[in-house]
Amino acid sequence: MSLNEKTNFLIRNLINGLIWLVIILGLFFIFKNVNDKQYLEFLAPIYEHPTLILLIYSFSELIFGIIPPEIFMIWALTRGGITVYIYYISLFAILSYLAGFIGFLFGMYLKKTNFYKMIKTRYLSKYEYYLKKYGLYLIIVAALTPLPFSGISILIGSVNYPLKKYLFYALFRFVRFAVYSFLIWEARWI
Protein backbone atom coordinates (compact mmCIF):
# COMPACT_ATOMS: atom_id res chain seq x y z
CA MET A 1 0.00 0.00 0.00
CA SER A 2 1.52 3.25 -1.09
CA LEU A 3 1.51 6.43 0.92
CA ASN A 4 -0.43 8.07 -1.90
CA GLU A 5 -3.31 5.57 -1.53
CA LYS A 6 -3.39 6.12 2.22
CA THR A 7 -3.36 9.90 1.76
CA ASN A 8 -6.22 9.65 -0.75
CA PHE A 9 -8.20 7.54 1.73
CA LEU A 10 -7.64 10.16 4.44
CA ILE A 11 -8.51 13.08 2.16
CA ARG A 12 -11.65 11.34 0.88
CA ASN A 13 -12.87 10.77 4.43
CA LEU A 14 -11.94 14.29 5.54
CA ILE A 15 -13.99 15.68 2.66
CA ASN A 16 -16.91 13.46 3.71
CA GLY A 17 -16.56 14.79 7.25
CA LEU A 18 -16.54 18.40 6.11
CA ILE A 19 -19.57 17.78 3.90
CA TRP A 20 -21.34 16.26 6.89
CA LEU A 21 -20.37 19.28 9.01
CA VAL A 22 -21.71 21.69 6.37
CA ILE A 23 -24.99 19.74 6.20
CA ILE A 24 -25.40 19.76 9.99
CA LEU A 25 -24.56 23.47 10.21
CA GLY A 26 -26.85 24.24 7.28
CA LEU A 27 -29.77 22.41 8.90
CA PHE A 28 -29.07 24.12 12.21
CA PHE A 29 -29.00 27.59 10.70
CA ILE A 30 -32.07 26.97 8.54
CA PHE A 31 -33.93 25.69 11.58
CA LYS A 32 -32.68 28.60 13.68
CA ASN A 33 -33.69 31.23 11.11
CA VAL A 34 -37.09 29.69 10.36
CA ASN A 35 -37.98 29.50 14.03
CA ASP A 36 -36.33 32.79 15.02
CA LYS A 37 -35.60 33.04 18.77
CA GLN A 38 -37.60 29.99 19.79
CA TYR A 39 -35.48 27.58 17.76
CA LEU A 40 -34.42 25.62 20.89
CA GLU A 41 -37.52 25.85 23.07
CA PHE A 42 -38.80 22.42 22.18
CA LEU A 43 -35.38 20.98 23.08
CA ALA A 44 -35.17 22.87 26.40
CA PRO A 45 -36.01 19.83 28.56
CA ILE A 46 -32.82 18.22 27.26
CA TYR A 47 -30.70 21.25 26.34
CA GLU A 48 -31.02 22.83 29.77
CA HIS A 49 -29.49 19.82 31.54
CA PRO A 50 -25.75 19.59 30.81
CA THR A 51 -25.39 16.37 32.80
CA LEU A 52 -28.03 14.70 30.63
CA ILE A 53 -26.30 16.00 27.48
CA LEU A 54 -22.97 14.59 28.69
CA LEU A 55 -24.57 11.22 29.46
CA ILE A 56 -26.24 11.07 26.03
CA TYR A 57 -22.97 12.07 24.38
CA SER A 58 -20.95 9.48 26.32
CA PHE A 59 -23.43 6.74 25.48
CA SER A 60 -23.40 7.77 21.82
CA GLU A 61 -19.61 7.73 21.66
CA LEU A 62 -19.46 4.28 23.28
CA ILE A 63 -22.04 2.95 20.82
CA PHE A 64 -20.12 3.82 17.64
CA GLY A 65 -20.93 7.53 17.63
CA ILE A 66 -24.60 7.18 16.74
CA ILE A 67 -25.09 10.93 17.25
CA PRO A 68 -22.48 13.06 15.46
CA PRO A 69 -20.26 15.02 17.89
CA GLU A 70 -20.90 18.17 15.86
CA ILE A 71 -24.46 18.29 17.20
CA PHE A 72 -23.06 18.46 20.72
CA MET A 73 -20.59 21.12 19.63
CA ILE A 74 -23.53 23.19 18.39
CA TRP A 75 -25.23 22.63 21.76
CA ALA A 76 -22.08 23.97 23.46
CA LEU A 77 -22.56 27.23 21.55
CA THR A 78 -25.75 27.81 23.55
CA ARG A 79 -24.06 27.52 26.94
CA GLY A 80 -22.15 30.79 27.09
CA GLY A 81 -19.02 32.48 25.82
CA ILE A 82 -15.76 31.16 24.48
CA THR A 83 -14.50 29.86 27.84
CA VAL A 84 -17.59 27.71 28.40
CA TYR A 85 -17.48 26.57 24.78
CA ILE A 86 -13.83 25.49 25.09
CA TYR A 87 -14.64 23.72 28.37
CA TYR A 88 -17.40 21.64 26.76
CA ILE A 89 -15.43 20.93 23.58
CA SER A 90 -12.49 19.76 25.70
CA LEU A 91 -14.79 17.56 27.73
CA PHE A 92 -16.36 16.10 24.57
CA ALA A 93 -12.91 15.39 23.11
CA ILE A 94 -11.73 13.68 26.31
CA LEU A 95 -14.92 11.59 26.53
CA SER A 96 -14.57 10.58 22.87
CA TYR A 97 -10.93 9.60 23.38
CA LEU A 98 -11.91 7.57 26.47
CA ALA A 99 -14.77 5.89 24.57
CA GLY A 100 -12.26 4.85 21.91
CA PHE A 101 -9.93 3.53 24.61
CA ILE A 102 -12.77 1.53 26.18
CA GLY A 103 -13.57 0.19 22.71
CA PHE A 104 -9.92 -0.78 22.25
CA LEU A 105 -9.95 -2.65 25.57
CA PHE A 106 -13.25 -4.29 24.66
CA GLY A 107 -11.75 -5.59 21.41
CA MET A 108 -8.55 -6.65 23.12
CA TYR A 109 -10.07 -8.59 26.01
CA LEU A 110 -13.42 -9.74 24.69
CA LYS A 111 -12.54 -10.68 21.11
CA LYS A 112 -13.26 -14.37 21.70
CA THR A 113 -16.72 -13.86 23.19
CA ASN A 114 -19.97 -14.42 21.32
CA PHE A 115 -20.99 -10.83 22.08
CA TYR A 116 -17.91 -9.48 20.29
CA LYS A 117 -18.49 -11.84 17.36
CA MET A 118 -22.05 -10.56 17.05
CA ILE A 119 -20.91 -6.92 17.10
CA LYS A 120 -18.19 -7.69 14.61
CA THR A 121 -20.61 -9.43 12.26
CA ARG A 122 -23.32 -6.77 12.49
CA TYR A 123 -21.36 -3.55 12.72
CA LEU A 124 -17.64 -3.97 12.16
CA SER A 125 -17.27 -6.36 9.22
CA LYS A 126 -17.28 -3.59 6.63
CA TYR A 127 -14.41 -1.86 8.45
CA GLU A 128 -12.32 -5.03 8.47
CA TYR A 129 -11.73 -4.43 4.78
CA TYR A 130 -10.27 -1.01 5.59
CA LEU A 131 -8.17 -2.48 8.37
CA LYS A 132 -6.74 -5.09 5.98
CA LYS A 133 -6.18 -2.54 3.22
CA TYR A 134 -4.87 0.43 5.20
CA GLY A 135 -3.57 -1.22 8.32
CA LEU A 136 -3.21 0.74 11.48
CA TYR A 137 -3.28 3.99 9.50
CA LEU A 138 -7.01 3.48 9.99
CA ILE A 139 -6.67 4.75 13.60
CA ILE A 140 -5.68 8.22 12.35
CA VAL A 141 -8.40 8.27 9.70
CA ALA A 142 -11.08 7.22 12.22
CA ALA A 143 -9.86 9.79 14.72
CA LEU A 144 -10.07 12.62 12.17
CA THR A 145 -13.13 11.67 10.13
CA PRO A 146 -16.73 10.48 10.53
CA LEU A 147 -15.68 6.81 10.53
CA PRO A 148 -16.93 5.32 13.82
CA PHE A 149 -13.99 5.90 16.13
CA SER A 150 -15.14 3.49 18.86
CA GLY A 151 -15.89 0.77 16.34
CA ILE A 152 -12.51 1.11 14.66
CA SER A 153 -10.91 1.12 18.12
CA ILE A 154 -12.62 -2.19 18.89
CA LEU A 155 -11.17 -3.70 15.71
CA ILE A 156 -7.72 -2.31 16.46
CA GLY A 157 -7.84 -3.77 19.97
CA SER A 158 -8.95 -7.16 18.64
CA VAL A 159 -5.78 -7.51 16.53
CA ASN A 160 -3.55 -6.97 19.59
CA TYR A 161 -2.15 -3.65 18.43
CA PRO A 162 0.25 -2.19 21.02
CA LEU A 163 -1.67 -0.05 23.51
CA LYS A 164 0.88 2.79 23.68
CA LYS A 165 0.88 3.18 19.90
CA TYR A 166 -2.91 3.13 19.81
CA LEU A 167 -3.13 5.79 22.52
CA PHE A 168 -0.62 7.95 20.63
CA TYR A 169 -2.35 7.73 17.23
CA ALA A 170 -5.77 8.14 18.81
CA LEU A 171 -4.65 11.61 19.98
CA PHE A 172 -5.59 12.77 16.49
CA ARG A 173 -9.14 12.71 17.87
CA PHE A 174 -8.29 15.97 19.68
CA VAL A 175 -7.22 17.52 16.37
CA ARG A 176 -10.63 16.74 14.89
CA PHE A 177 -12.45 18.33 17.83
CA ALA A 178 -10.21 21.41 17.72
CA VAL A 179 -10.74 21.97 13.98
CA TYR A 180 -14.45 21.20 13.89
CA SER A 181 -15.21 23.23 17.00
CA PHE A 182 -13.28 26.18 15.58
CA LEU A 183 -15.29 25.99 12.34
CA ILE A 184 -18.55 25.77 14.28
CA TRP A 185 -17.55 28.69 16.51
CA GLU A 186 -16.67 30.82 13.51
CA ALA A 187 -19.90 29.88 11.70
CA ARG A 188 -22.17 30.70 14.65
CA TRP A 189 -23.09 34.15 13.32
CA ILE A 190 -24.20 33.02 9.89
**pLDDT tens-place string over residues 72-81:** 998 898 888 9
Where do the H-state alpha helices sit in 50-124? Answer: 50-62, 69-77, 82-110, 114-119
Q: Which DSSP string corresponds to 4-38?
A: HHHHHHHHHHHHHHHHHHHHHHHHHHHHHHHSGGG
Please give the residue range of the domain that contains residue 64: 3-187
Is the confidence at residue 96, as pLDDT, over 90? Answer: yes
Query: pLDDT tens across 104-137, in order?
Result: 999 999 888 998 888 888 888 888 888 888 877 8
Q: How many domains does the chain divide into?
A: 1
| pTM for the whole structure | 0.85
